[in-house]
Amino acid sequence: MEFTLNIFTLNCWGIPVVSKNRKERIEAIATYLQKASHNIVCLQEVWCEKDYLYLKDQLQKQFPFSHYFYSGVFGSGLCIFTKWAIQDVFFHQWPLNGYIHKIHHGDWFGGKGVGLCRIKYNDRLINIYCTHLHAEYHEDDIYLAHRVLQAYSTAELVNLTSSPADVSILAGDLNAAPGDLSFRLITQLPSLLDPYTLLADHDQFAKQIGTSDNINNSYSDPKLVKLCPEGKRIDHILFHVDSKYEAQVNSYGNPMEERVPGEPFSYSDHDAVALELKIKPSQSKPKRQYSEEKHFQETIEEAIKVCREATVLLASGLITL
């Protein structure tokens, strides 16, 4: 019997004091989700527990089941809302989370990682992974090795825990565009599919789905917009299905308006991503759907090189405030 999953992900930019219009935007996000048709919601950067509790209260009718992944000093910022019962939860904190002396970046204090909620829908098991990898912050990207190790750790977790599930979904801000080393690690090891590549018209659709620093977002950096008006596609929903099923992408893109209704600002400094998947029994001989990229050994070698170079920089004391 076929069924449909409608997944939503958004980096909410919910940093207390720092994030502009945080209260108004969180309220607007709740209002949107109350009216939308999503059945699974993954949020990142919900750094204030009060914001999570507000969302939980406002969305109780639409999403009676939810979980916030507590970690570090003030929480991971990750939470999942779902229409269906959560059977199990697990949080894997990454061993490398930025530098403790980079207080203004805050990643180390958040104890970031990847959260898993295993959902039971009728007799089907659905694994939902929510994550947020380390940001670049600067062009020299001293956190590349951190992000690469986080990506590998995430890919390894998905690969080792997805086998009991009929469907596995990884959603969140990966701070990596398709083709980037971190993105390749995450998709290749657990064979996750990028729904964008399954769209027949994805070449025409490309300039419409940059999720960060695009021309339509009120919080985008003008300098970055000038260089690349369509922005970067760094927020993703990836998936794979068990061999006895096949998946069809019904829709994929940003479901929210460019501005909060009645306000001059956007819902967040990132755009949301929504994916509607139709899952149905496979009509052919059971065959697992694999990612198009199959050069995992080359990817691993590239990752090792990045980590070795970072070790040299650390030893030479070139990484400072």
Show which residues are catalytic: 270
What is the spatial distance between Cα 39 and Cα 31, in angstroms, rounded to a whole number?
A: 15
Parallel/antiparallel/unpaired status of strands 124-132 and 167-173: parallel
Amino acid at 235: D
The answer to whether the CB of 150 falls within 8 A of the CB of 159 is: no
Q: Which amino acid is at 60?
A: Q
In 3-state terms, what secondary structure has residue 7? strand
Beta-sheet strand order (sheet of 40-46): 65-68, 79-82, 40-46, 3-14, 273-281, 245-253
Record the tokens describing residue 220, joined without a space.
């985008």
Question: For residues 92 and 114, is the Cβ–Cβ distance under 8 A?
Answer: yes
Alpha-carbon distance of 80 to 33, in angstroms, equals 13
Query: CB–CB of 220/269 below 8 Å?
Result: yes
